[in-house]
């Protein structure tokens, strides 16, 4: 089957875009208005709908754009399957990539111009190194999605290396195959990687994998600097920055391990004890990052694991500090208003568990789970009535947080399996789809509009 890396990257990108579309669709059907939650109207260059189908909902516009790009990818892949020579296949693939770029940047109002402008504008704000600009939730969600696609950026670099061979004919002429010159394009690609930085993406690949985490780290530092000094909000952003910073040792040590063995041949000057030290450091780094990331998902991003006595798992990092003021449980701005009687913002006194539960259950503007108390390890207010959905999401998130280490381990060599790397990337995209779904649901549950 003809399914090279060039089209694996495209299909994974389409899968991520389709996952975002289904997020919007399911949230809309659940009665959740995504636009105010993502703060789309507050963006510095807010894009108003200027498409011909202005009455369409957000998920319909995104799906229409994904469908157009998907048709281009499908046609390009089918053409490559029918072409007889590898060089012709590469040329057709290049045309497919160029067509996708033209669709995304075309100035015409057709094909969801507002959605395309929002996407490009979000990328620009994420890459922007400024520590003074405000950080919007839409950019946070986009940056987190990019971290799940980090490996795809290194693969994309290898794709560009493969494209460059078409424009350098000497790469074919200088390869000694022992027979009559070059036989396949794959041999030329491997030889070109060996003489350049393209070998398994090299240092550039490591930087590309680390880039999305660096962008997200910058956002956390930005939010920390803009928060009230010493507040729980500032502590939370600082702890979140530690989570993303812990990804860099994992990436660097994984790259160091992969350089030790190539096709079963040792290619390192390190002694055996040094290799064991590197592996031990990698194991410690990946264990800390995976468990800490899982804790952050359920404690802060999803705001789960509450107990009936008022304690929640998020208190392990940034407990809410007490003051003399009291806030109502159904006040939508309760956890965003500064305390007028105190110089420190966000330091609020939470009602007793019994009073808080009573207010939540009696509030007409909220939806609570059935019964006098909420299910174990969840929270008082849920947007979906089935607690099983949240339990399954937590279990899957833990398993997939750990499973992604297979992609980085030099001992498992998952890339040697048939499309092993593709399926692991697809699983990570699914995990991010699930995370995005409950991340927005948590914001909706915290508001009074649902």
265 membership: H or E segment, kind and range: strand 265-266
Residue 80: φ, ψ to 5°: -65, -35
Does the structure show a pLDDT above 60 at 311?
yes
Alpha carbon distances (Å) from 79 to 4, 16, 25, 420, 448: 13, 24, 32, 25, 52
Tell me what pLDDT residue 353 has. 45
Of the pLDDT bands very low, low, confident and very high (cuts 50, 70, 90), residue 172 is: very low
What distance in Å separates the CA atoms of residue 272 and residue 413, rounded to the nearest whole number?
20
Residue with more model confidence, 449 or 51: 449
Say which DSSP state 266 is in.
E
Percent of the chain with pLDDT over 70: 69
The answer to whether the beta carbons of residues 296 and 240 sit under 8 Å apart is yes
Mean pLDDT along residues 126-136:
90
Averaged over 416-428, what is the pLDDT?
Answer: 81
Alpha-helical runs (H) found in 39-134: 58-82, 86-105, 113-127
Give the mean pLDDT of 376-390: 91
Which of the four pLDDT bands, split at 50, 70 and 90, describes residue 337? Answer: very low
The pLDDT confidence band at residue 415, using thresholds 50, 70 and 90, is low
pTM for the model = 0.79
Top pLDDT among 88 and 410 is at: 88
Tell me: pLDDT of 153 over 60. Answer: yes
- In this prediction, residue 404 carries a pLDDT of 65
170 exposure class (CB count in 10 Å sphere: 0-12, 13-18, 19+):
exposed
């Amino acid at each position: 089957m003809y399914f090279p890396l060039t089209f694996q990257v495209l299909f994974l990108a389409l899968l991520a875009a389709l996952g975002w579309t289904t997020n919007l669709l399911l949230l809309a059907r659940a009665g959740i208005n995504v636009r105010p939650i993502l703060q789309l109207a507050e963006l510095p260059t807010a894009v108003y709908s200027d498409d011909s189908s202005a009455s369409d909902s957000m998920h319909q516009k995104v799906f229409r754009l994904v469908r157009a790009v998907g048709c281009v990818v499908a046609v390009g892949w089918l053409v490559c399957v029918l072409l007889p020579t590898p060089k012709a296949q590469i040329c057709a693939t290049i045309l497919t990539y160029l067509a996708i770029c033209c669709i995304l940047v075309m100035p015409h109002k057709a094909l969801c111009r507002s959605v395309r402008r929002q996407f490009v504008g979000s990328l620009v704000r994420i890459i922007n190194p400024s520590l003074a600009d405000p950080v919007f939730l839409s950019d946070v969600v986009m940056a987190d999605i990019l971290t799940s696609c980090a490996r795809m950026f290194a693969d994309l670099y290898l794709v560009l290396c493969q494209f460059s061979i078409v424009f350098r004919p000497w790469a074919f002429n200088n390869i000694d195959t022992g027979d009559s010159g070059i036989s396949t394009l794959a041999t030329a690609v491997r030889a070109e990687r060996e003489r350049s930085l393209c070998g398994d993406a090299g240092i550039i690949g490591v930087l590309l994998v680390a880039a999305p985490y660096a962008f997200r780290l910058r956002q956390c530092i930005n939010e920390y600097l803009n928060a009230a000094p010493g507040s729980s909000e500032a502590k939370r952003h600082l702890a979140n920055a530690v989570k993303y910073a812990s990804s860099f040792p994992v990436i660097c040590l994984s790259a160091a391990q992969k350089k030790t063995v190539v096709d079963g041949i040792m290619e390192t000057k390190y002694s055996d004890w040094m290799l064991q030290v590197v592996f031990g450091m990698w194991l410690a780094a990946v264990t800390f990052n995976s468990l800490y990331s899982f804790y952050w998902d359920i404690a802060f991003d999803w705001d789960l694991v509450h107990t009936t006595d008022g304690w929640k798992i998020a208190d392990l990092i940034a407990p809410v500090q007490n003051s003399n003021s009291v806030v109502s449980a159904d006040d939508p701005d309760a956890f965003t208003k500064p305390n007028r009687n105190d110089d420190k913002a966000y330091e609020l006194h939470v009602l007793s568990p019994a009073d808080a539960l009573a207010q939540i259950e009696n509030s007409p503007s909220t939806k609570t789970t059935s019964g006098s108390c909420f299910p174990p390890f969840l929270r008082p207010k849920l947007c979906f009535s089935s607690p099983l959905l949240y339990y399954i999401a937590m279990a899957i998130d833990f398993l997939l947080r750990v499973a992604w280490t297979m992609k980085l381990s030099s001992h498992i060599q998952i890339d040697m399996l048939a499309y092993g790397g593709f399926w692991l990337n697809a699983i990570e995209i699914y995990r991010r789809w699930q995370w995005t779904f409950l991340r927005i649901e948590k914001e909706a549950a915290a508001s009074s509009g649902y």
